[in-house]
Amino acid sequence: MVQEIISIEGMMCGHCQMTVEKAIRAVKGVQEVKVSLDNKQAEVSYDPGIADPAAIRSAVTRAGYKVMD
Which stretches of the chain bind Cu ion, using CB under 5 A? 12-13, 15-16
Q: Which is nearer to Cu ion, 6 or 51 (CB)?
A: 6
Residues 15 and 47: their CA atoms lie apart, in Å, by: 27
Identify which of residues 37 and 55 has a Cβ nearer to Cu ion in the complex. Answer: 37
Q: Which is nearer to Cu ion, 13 or 54 (CB)?
A: 13
CB of 13 to Cu ion, least distance (A): 3
CA angle 9, 13, 59 (to 5 degrees): 45
Q: Least distance (Å) from Cu ion to the CB of residue 23?
A: 13
3-state secondary structure of 25: helix
| Contact in structure between 11 and 68 (CB atoms under 8 Å) | no
